[in-house]
């Protein structure tokens, strides 16, 4: 952190500030110039808050040099984090795909979907049991029952499952039934939830908040990791912009940025990013070649009858074709869909 | 809701759709034209979800006529909702001010602040015990202890208190200690929390999410009201835009819009909206004349030493002056700071 | 400007950079620290471009201390700029109002509007002769003919006129017919136009681009001033955000920010900011108390028949009432609608 | 266009509105329902403006069915528009690349760049002679002289050139010297310029405005086409959002959307979209597989010394590698870099 002081600041005030900063555990390197005095903070400044310093009336400007996240920072952890779930590697050499319906709608349907997704080559089955809906009058998911159906569907088909958690009182149920726990876009800054998820060891799929900066997103990952759980998978799912032809705007550039700033794996969700079924395919392809580690795709046997988000779901047949396209592109990127020696069943 | 069908749709498909819609409990008025067939849905369409209909391949376009919120809608509840707390009326004839430090920092400090705010004429004392901070390494608030200090400070000074809740497991503590429970911007779509707060009868101060549309914000109010708690107070606190000179952009226009769409009271928080202390005064004045029912202002005896958000806090002396300015403007708007017969102590 | 170098940079490279910077005419103050070497640039750095320096591989970070605008900067020109037009003072003690129809529709109509606006106490008559419409098939304004009608209407009623210019080939016509030349939001970064307008001495009303940052807006003012024309009046007219209940989002906070950063007058256009007639009144009031120097309001005798923007125009009767409200608020702000000794005719 | 009337509207008022609409040349299909009366406008409604109708107090809601653009609309022109320049096909079977420095810096440099770009397989040479810079104190380009250098460089190397025009008085010069005329992001709604460019027959590369919706962008294309010039090439170059790690946010989803709505070719500019050299490669790859017809890439022999935008330029060696990657991906998309029979010289 660099602190530029106002010209003409009296010595006593400078020394007061330096003392305050040193008390926070950093080394203060002072640079006296003719006009400006500049203080450079050396050491771990992640714990030094920028705002109170800016408020000080002798301070002209405060500049962060170091990113405020530490455990999620590639600088302090150069190799990629690889998370192993059900024999698959997320963030490693493989390119992975989680697919399935927006919501678990019935036991029969989710079991059918599990078989279809497995057969198409998907690595994980997605499906919501608890649905965050903007209207209290919309279908809210089957809840605990849905969780049980999902777990059974995954077990029967031999495909690990990922689903969204909405509150801390459900953590035990999720740990029991789920392979990857998803934190949705609306809960990306539900810090109480993040903290508690940091105390278990299940992989957490952290979706980007719809108006979260990349830095805020990584800070939310930091919340989880700082409590001990290092198995964080990021997921870009579109941000909110002025453009409203699409439901959200896929920030495809976030993929290379996050891969550079952090060692965590990054997936892309082309279904929520666009909200339109015929955009899933081109956006999925874009994600592969932009360097994502995988995809999260909504698939439904009958989108018209889907209890939620039918408009952005593709049919299994289209998904089969998409998997073939992805396979070609991922292999060009040096990322096969199957790990070496892994059989596609 | 108006549904425009594609030209040339076969009769059987139209009847299938009409039957499906009628099954949802609405009356379908069919209008046959030369080219387009238009279906108008009559009755309560808040429970009819737009997306699945749009997905139907015979549908050209779906248009909502009615807002998707019902209990929060002025159409179904024309008179203003007035919420009474500690002898004050929120949303009625009075203009109210909640003021205090960003965070409860110590028992001594919050008690001092309570006395100062009361003396300046504020109606409510604000102060956070649980602080949602983007960094896990920043000061997170004093927690339960802070809640106790705040309650004591309010009781001693005779000023009701408002503070933010972050998770459902704290609801009992809040009901016991707090007069108005605040839901922060990051939890505006924490639907589990909203639902639970709908089951108590404390007034809820619902801040607008930093990227929430006005409709989404009112839908979140609907979550609370639909469970039974009608005491919802809205609070505009700035939205996220491309402009980054200020921390957020105060959407002053949201005040008249919300007053027209809903019967709920609306406060404005000029401190978070700008993030800059010298902007609090002009934005507070703007809020009064735009028709807000009150303000939420950060005040601190020593902003430089504030444990959070010092940059946007004003000093008590400046707050005194602000209260005088507000009093003049509010009275022009026909909204006195004191209810008739109410003594300022 | 502060340049932080990467740790471990070799001396020769540092000296090379210092030499390059000194060649640009600034003094380089070098601060050697244990880890970081920091270069502080002293003097006028408005001509030093940030990007090429950031690209240098020995540079860690570049931080601007000084705003990149100079002639528009209050730092170098502390007193408010006051622009006198037709006996009125813009940016001085007075609060001014420009009002009239969106477009000049006919000679008869604009003459009637001129009389009405004058009678209501407006200081300036607005009305577009050249209309920038997003569709080539919409009414594009009466062009040169409209300009003549407007000039005549203003002259007959004794009220100065303001209207929008769209290209450089019209400058002579505008100088002849118009009192204040408006640059619209879509042309805020039409640098060729700005430069040419900097070479005349008519006052220029520079609307903020719908997605322009405050800094970019002031840089556009700088384009005009740097060519010699110091008579620049800024106008906030709403920015583009994700919220689409309103046409734009009024950035009311931009008013105090611009008044602090610059000495130029600032008006507010509540009509375009909202796009809704019933929001004009509350937003106009907000603008007055936020510290604006005046307003730009759309008024039409028959909004339903207006050839453009009828939805955001208010009727003359409502405008009369608005002027009375504004008068009260402006006088509280110490800004009378009439200059001392000025008679309202 | 569908117009929903308010319940209980009197018959005379309805007939008045119908008459007004018919006078605009459309057929009005009236649908009487129990509650709502719905008017459907049949025929070419591109000339019917939505706003005045919405203002009518008997109107509840107006809904556009048809896009407001007509000549740019795929509905009325199903086959792809293919534009031939210098033996290359834009929008046809080929994938094309325009590359070169941000600005023409000297005759020697642009000639060297032309040879390098040609050798690397680029189809067009880009380079700005007139530079729209946010600061009047930054390098503004070499102007007319730069145009001559560019033309010569292109001619000598046998590569057609594309460069940006900033005002109508330069059109003749551009027609003489340039193969494709670029309209920059800041001039996307400079309607006077668009109109004039519609009267020549050179291909126009129309960049998306940084905060333009897709509809507004296509309406700007419509301005050009409606005057007679059908050779419009669109270019997505990133939009402005709250995220500021990158200069802009590439709206990769705009590519499939525009290809569906319009028959015009679409290029992508990964350099401006990110503003960061190491993001050019992943974003370029994403553009290819999302279905773009080509790329616009900034390349510079010495980015550090570039007179503008050095931070987002890649070096020729990296560009060579990028061309090879693009070739592989484009051929998977069925879009070779060379037309059949075309030799790479």
Query: A342 lies in a domain?
Result: no
Quote the mean pLDDT of chain A. Answer: 92
Partner-chain contact C285 B283, CB within 8 Å: no
- Bigger pLDDT: B305 or D91? D91
Distance CA B289, CA B259 (A): 13
Query: C95 lies in a domain?
Result: yes
State whether C109 and C57 are in the same domain. Answer: no
Partner-chain contact A51 B308, CB within 8 Å: yes
pLDDT tens digit sequence for B273-301: 999 999 999 999 999 999 999 999 999 99
Q: Please classify residue D199 by burial: count the beta carbons closer than 10 Å to its beta carbon, then call 0-12 exposed, 13-18 middle and 19+ buried.
A: exposed
Q: What is the pLDDT of residue C160?
A: 98
Distance CA C97, CA B294 (A): 28
Q: What is the pLDDT of residue B60?
A: 84
Partner-chain contact B49 A210, CB within 8 Å: no
State whether D221 and D316 are in the same domain. Answer: yes
Which among A214, A278, A287 is the nearest to D243, CB-wise?
A214
State whether residue C145 sits within 8 Å of chain B by CB.
Answer: no
- Highest mean pLDDT of the ranges A37-46, C63-72, D57-66, D167-176: D167-176
Lowest mean pLDDT among B76-85, B101-110, B130-139, B252-261: B130-139
DSSP, collapsed to helix, strand or coil, labels residue A76 as helix
Query: C344 lies in a domain?
Result: no
Q: What is the pLDDT of residue C341?
A: 64
Q: What is the pLDDT of residue A72?
A: 95
State whether residue B136 sits within 8 Å of chain A by CB.
Answer: yes
- Bigger pLDDT: C282 or B37? C282
Q: What is the pLDDT of residue C214?
A: 98
Lowest mean pLDDT among B16-20, B57-61, B123-127, C154-158: B57-61
State whether C126 and C234 are in the same domain. Answer: yes
Cβ neighbours of A139 in B, within 8 Å? 49
What are the start-end ranges of the H helices in C209-315? 214-226, 254-261, 270-274, 277-290
Q: Is the pLDDT of residue D36 over 90?
A: no
**pLDDT band (50, 70, 90) for residue A62:** confident
**pLDDT band (50, 70, 90) for residue A152:** very high
Query: A338 lies in a domain?
Result: no
Q: Is the pLDDT of residue A33 over 70?
A: no
- Rounded to the nearest 5°, which phi and psi values hold at C67? -65, 150
- A36 forms beta bridges with none
Q: Is the pLDDT of residue A142 over 90?
A: yes
| CATH number where D56 lies | 3.30.70.1140
Q: Is the pLDDT of residue D345 over 70?
A: no
Listed in sequence order, the residues at least 6 apart from D288 whose beta carbon sits closer than 8 Å to its beta carbon are A289, D95, D295, D326, D329, D330, D333, D335
Annotate D156-203 with DSSP letters as a single string.
HHT--EEEEE--GGGHHHHHHH-SEEEE-GGGTT-HHHHHHHTTS-S-
% of chain B beyond a pLDDT of 70:
96
- E strands, chain C, where? 2-5, 27-32, 37-42, 59-63, 83-85, 88-90, 96-100, 124-126, 161-165, 180-183, 204-207, 232-236, 266-268, 294-298
| CATH number where D235 lies | 3.20.20.70
Q: Which chains touch D (3 or more CB pairs under 8 A)?
A: A, B, C
Q: What is the pLDDT of residue A34?
A: 65
Lowest mean pLDDT among B30-44, B73-87, C170-184, D283-297: B30-44
**pLDDT band (50, 70, 90) for residue C224:** very high
Distance CA B146, CA B131 (A): 11
pLDDT tens digit sequence for C73-91: 998 899 999 999 999 999 9
Which among C69, C216, C311 is the nearest to D54, CB-wise?
C311
Do the Cβ atoms of D2 and D57 come closer than 8 Å? no
Distances (CA, A) of C85 to C79, C120, C202: 19, 18, 9
Partner-chain contact D244 A329, CB within 8 Å: no
Q: Is the pLDDT of residue A233 over 70?
A: yes
Q: Is the pLDDT of residue B53 over 90?
A: no
Residues A236-243, mean pLDDT to the nearest whole number: 97
Q: At A172, list the tokens.
A: 């035990």
Query: A247 lies in a domain?
Result: yes
The number of C-alpha atoms within 13 Å of C178 and in the hemisphere containing its C-beta is 28
Do the Cβ atoms of A94 and A80 come closer than 8 Å? no
State whether residue C216 sits within 8 Å of chain D by CB.
Answer: yes
Query: C324 lies in a domain?
Result: yes
**pLDDT band (50, 70, 90) for residue B341:** low
Query: B342 lies in a domain?
Result: no
Which among D252, D283, D288 is the nearest to A283, CB-wise?
D252
State whether A175 and A269 are in the same domain. Answer: yes
Q: What is the pLDDT of residue A15?
A: 92
Distance CA B193, CA B183 (A): 9
pLDDT tens digit sequence for D225-259: 999 999 999 999 999 999 989 999 999 999 999 99
Do the Cβ atoms of C325 and C281 come closer than 8 Å? yes
What range does the domain containing B208 cover?
74-332
State whether D186 and D301 are in the same domain. Answer: yes
Residues C284-312, mean pLDDT to the nearest whole number: 89
State whether D35 and D183 are in the same domain. Answer: no
Distances (CA, A) of B158 to B93, B153, B154, B233, B322: 22, 8, 6, 22, 22
Domain count, chain C: 2
Partner-chain contact C279 B273, CB within 8 Å: no
State whether D112 and D215 are in the same domain. Answer: yes
Distance CA A153, CA B201 (A): 41
Which of A47, A55, A60, A277 to mutate: most B Cβ within 10 Å? A55
Q: At D295, list the tokens.
A: 């790329």
Partner-chain contact B214 C251, CB within 8 Å: no
C271 vs chain B: nearest CA distance in angstroms?
A: 11
State whether D29 and D165 are in the same domain. Answer: no
State whether A277 and A130 are in the same domain. Answer: yes
Tokens 């290819």, residue located: D288
State whether B27 and B157 are in the same domain. Answer: no
- A50 forms beta bridges with none
State whether residue A106 sits within 8 Å of chain B by CB.
Answer: no
Distances (CA, A) of D261 to A74, D70, D218, D282, D334: 41, 10, 9, 26, 21
Partner-chain contact D243 A251, CB within 8 Å: yes
pLDDT tens digit sequence for B227-259: 999 999 999 999 999 998 999 999 999 999 999
- Bigger pLDDT: D46 or B72? B72
DSSP, collapsed to helix, strand or coil, labels residue B280 as helix
D117 vs chain A: nearest CA distance in angstroms?
A: 24
Lowest mean pLDDT among B178-187, B269-278, C40-49, C191-200: C40-49
State whether D134 and D98 are in the same domain. Answer: yes
Lowest mean pLDDT among A201-210, C275-284, C336-345, D266-275: C336-345
Query: B217 lies in a domain?
Result: yes
Q: What is the pLDDT of residue D86?
A: 94
Q: Is the pLDDT of residue A12 over 70?
A: yes
Lowest mean pLDDT among B258-262, C84-88, D28-32, D74-78: D28-32
Distance CA D77, CA D88 (A): 22
State whether residue D189 sits within 8 Å of chain C by CB.
Answer: yes
- Bigger pLDDT: C147 or C35? C147
Q: Is the pLDDT of residue B67 over 70?
A: yes
Lowest mean pLDDT among A296-300, B220-224, D4-8, D164-168: D4-8
Which among A52, A303, A308 is the nearest to B306, CB-wise?
A52
Lowest mean pLDDT among C57-66, C120-129, C252-261: C57-66
State whether B164 and B201 are in the same domain. Answer: yes
Q: What is the pLDDT of residue A68?
A: 87
Which among C214, C257, C285 is the nearest to B289, CB-wise?
C285
Partner-chain contact A65 C61, CB within 8 Å: yes
Q: Is the pLDDT of residue B68 over 90?
A: no
**pLDDT band (50, 70, 90) for residue C311:** confident
Distance CA C157, CA C147 (A): 16
pLDDT tens digit sequence for D115-160: 999 999 999 999 999 999 888 988 899 999 999 999 999 999 999 9
pLDDT tens digit sequence for C273-282: 999 999 999 9
């Amino acid at each position: 952190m660099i602190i530029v002081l106002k010209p003409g600041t009296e010595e006593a005030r400078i020394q007061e500030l330096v003392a305050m900063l040193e008390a926070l555990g950093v080394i203060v390197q002072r640079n006296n110039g003719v006009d400006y005095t500049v203080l450079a903070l050396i050491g771990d400044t992640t714990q030094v808050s920028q705002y109170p310093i800016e408020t000080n009336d002798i301070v002209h400007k405060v500049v962060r040099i170091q990113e405020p996240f530490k455990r999620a920072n590639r600088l302090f952890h150069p190799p990629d984090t690889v998370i192993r779930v059900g024999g698959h590697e997320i963030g490693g050499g493989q390119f992975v795909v989680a697919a399935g319906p927006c919501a678990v709608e019935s036991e029969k349907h989710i079991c059918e979907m599990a078989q279809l997704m497995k057969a198409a080559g998907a690595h994980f089955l997605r499906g919501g049991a608890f649905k965050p809906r903007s209207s209290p009058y919309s279908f809210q998911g089957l809840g605990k029952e849905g969780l049980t159906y999902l777990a059974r569907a995954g077990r029967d088909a031999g495909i690990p499952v990922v689903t969204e958690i909405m509150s801390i009182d459900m953590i035990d149920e999720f740990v029991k039934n789920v392979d990857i726990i998803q934190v949705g876009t609306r809960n990306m800054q539900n810090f109480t939830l993040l903290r508690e998820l940091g105390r278990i060891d299940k992989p957490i799929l952290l979706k980007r908040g719809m108006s979260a900066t990349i830095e805020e997103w990584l800070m939310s990952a930091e919340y989880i990791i700082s409590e001990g759980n290092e198995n964080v998978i990021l997921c870009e799912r579109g941000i909110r912009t002025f453009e409203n032809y699409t439901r959200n705007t896929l920030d495809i550039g976030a993929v290379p940025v996050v891969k550079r700033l952090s060692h965590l794996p990054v997936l892309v969700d082309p279904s929520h990013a666009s909200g339109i079924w015929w955009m899933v395919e081109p956006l999925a392809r874009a994600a592969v070649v932009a360097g994502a580690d995988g995809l999260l795709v909504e698939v439904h046997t009958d989108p018209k009858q889907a209890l939620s988000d039918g408009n952005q779901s593709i049919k299994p047949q289209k998904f089969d074709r998409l998997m073939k396209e992805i396979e070609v592109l991922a292999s060009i990127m040096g990322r096969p869909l199957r790990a070496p020696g892994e059989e596609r069943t």
